[in-house]
Structure 1
Amino acid sequence: MELPEFVLLTMASFIGWSALYRALCFLQPHKSYEWNSRIVVVIHAGTILVMSSVFGFFFSPWPFTHPGGKSNPYENSTMVVCNGYFLYDFIRSMLYDTRHNRAMVLHHLVCILFTSASLVSGLSGTEINFSLFLAELTNPMLQIRWLMRNAGITEGILYELNQVVFLVAFFIIRVGIGTYWIYHYLLHPVPHLFFKLGGILLYAVSIIFMGQIMIVAYNKLSPSGRKESSENLPALDKTKI
């Protein structure tokens, strides 16, 4: 993808996500800005899950055996949508969020850098789309947890079930499959070293997130920390992965 085309498409995506956020704020003035931003996160997660899964299944090679190749137009379209979103969410967070999860900020910067590099170079779209798919699988559950907490729905089977499923799914996908994936990716001779570095950074961020989640889970299960953990979970509440 030529640089002017990359800039134009990324800005179009950025404007689209920004406009969606502003529209939600206009339509739901009784809701907080953070509430509306979380709705955008859920919509983005659903969009990327559909695009990456459908395009990956029908048009992309198997990422475990054929990474590092030339990106196809379907992979590029997914990355453009995602790149504009990360740019929007990063800027919005820097301008309006009073608390910042440093791991989340690093996650967004890494995603913007390496997705942009893939779009400009025309390489490694297959594995980046696969990584986006894995990353977004658990995101809706995390945002639903935040929305339920802020709506006052913190009791009952649905809230607890969502938390348990999120914890188990995050561990299986980010740590289990993620470890297996990064091991094979680093050993593969085709991908450029630059993109392998991106894989290492994103894997490290996932481990940091997992550590934060495990601390929250431990505090919740601990009798002495149950009340505190149920009322104040900043590690998760600041996260929009």
Structure 2
Amino acid sequence: MRLREPGSLRGRRRPGAGQRGSNVGREEGRMISSMPLRVAGSLVAWLSLYAWFCHRYKRRSYEWSCRLVTLTHGLLATCLSAYIGFIDGPWPLTHPGSPNTTLQVHVLCLSLGYFLFDLGWCVYFQTEGALMLAHHTVSILGITVSLALGESATEVNAVIFGSEITNPLLQARWFLREMGCYHSFTGDVVDFVFVLLFTGVRIGVGAWMLYCELASPKPQWFIKMGGVIMYVVSWIFMVSICRFARRKTMKKYHTWRSRRSEELHSKANGHLKCH
């Protein structure tokens, strides 16, 4: 019995290999073609939620309802992006520029619809400054490019996690102020945790993430540029937060000193009266 030479098998494909490749190509094509519909569905869902909040809280302002939508997205995006980054994978610090997974695409479409809604709302009501509008614009462009390329959703998802993890605290601070409960122990705790998370996650972990992104040869140069811009925006926010923290700390200190001096003065007066 004559054996085939090893080289005679090199040019042959395994049975069904071409069919499997074509099926994968079709699935990728379907996923890309369905992305605009997913984003549109996400946008409609956020608009519907906003309309429901406006109907539910008729006596409140439109910003109240918009902040509730922002809070909902912040909680949802934080949980989903944390699951993707820490459990489902891949790990963003070691695999930047990786192909997008199905779950990553779902989350990016969900967040893209929200950012489109919030950017439109902010422009229409003119409630935010140029920095926040720039942040939303860069977020929209980054998510769109990642979905179009079919890669780098790993690091974009990590950026969403870092951006949204402090968002619920920011909204809680606004709601406490609206309800007249901000100047309390709860307000101090919210501010402290917000500053701590922002400094640790967006500045500390963000620097590590940016280094891994720039050092890796896989991500496209414009993806890297988007990461640099987002980190610069985070630092601009950080400067404002530091100024706020300094003002609040000094105000607390002066309040404590005035109370302390009043207590000492009252004790001294009581001692003199006894004599």
Question: TM (normalized to structure 2)?
Answer: 0.78
Amino acid at match of 2:39: T
CA shift in 2, pair 1:170/1:89, >3 Å: same
Distance 1:204 1:187 in 2: 18
The answer for the alignment partner of 1:48 in structure 2 is 77
Greater RCO (CA < 8 Å, at least 6 residues apart): 1
Residue in structure 1 matching 2:120, options 85, 91, 95: 91
* Structure 2: distance between partners of 1:25 and 1:85: 17
The partner residue of 1:105 within 114, 130, 133 is: 133
- Distance, in Å, in 2 between the alignment partners of 1:226 and 1:71 is 53
* Deviation for aligned residue 1:147: 0.6
Indicate the residue corresponding to 1:161 in structure 2.
Answer: 189
Query: Which residue does 2:242 correspond to in 1?
Result: 214
Partner of 1:117: 145
Alignment check: 8 A CA contact 1:220 1:226 kept: no
Identity %: 33
- Aligned partner letter, 1:53: A
What's the RMSD between the two structures over aligned residues?
Answer: 1.9
Q: Which residue does 2:261 correspond to in 1?
A: none
User: Which one of 109, 114, 131 corresponds to residue 159 of structure 2?
Assistant: 131
Are 2:84 and 2:90, in contact at CA under 8 Å, matched by a contact in 1? no
Alpha-carbon shift at residue 107 of structure 1 (Å): 0.7
Specify the SS of the correspondent of 2:78. helix
Which of 185, 189, 192 pairs up with 2:213? 185
1:88 is matched by which residue type in structure 2?
F
Match of 1:32 among 27, 37, 61: 61
Question: Gaps (5+ residues) in structure 2?
Answer: 1-27, 256-275
Q: Which residue of 1 aligns with 2:226?
A: 198
Report Cα offsets for 1:147-196 as digits up to 9, x if no partner. Answer: 10011112321111111111111111111111121112111111111110
Residue of structure 2 equivalent to 1:67? 96
Q: Which consecutive residues of structure 1, in runs of 5 or more, have no partner in the other structure?
A: 228-241
Q: Tell me the distance in 2 between the aligned counterparts of 1:182 and 1:56.
A: 16
Name the structure 2 match of 1:231. Answer: none
Map Cα deviations across residues 43-91 of structure 1 (whole Å, 9 max, x no partner).
0011111211223333321111111011000000010000000000000
How far did residue 222 of structure 1 move? Answer: 3.0
Normalised to the residue count of structure 1, the TM-score between the two structures is: 0.89
User: Offset at 1:4?
Assistant: 4.1
Deviation at 1:221, TM superposition (A): 2.5
Greater displacement, 176-185 / 34-43: 176-185
Q: 1:52 to 1:138 in 2, by over 3 A?
A: same
Secondary structure of 2:181 counterpart:
coil
What residue identity is the alignment partner of 2:210?
I
Q: Is the 8 A contact 1:42 1:140 kept in 2?
A: yes
Paired letter, 1:153: C
Higher Rg: 2
Corresponding residue for 1:58?
A: 87
CA distance in 1 between partners of 2:215 and 2:111 (Å): 27
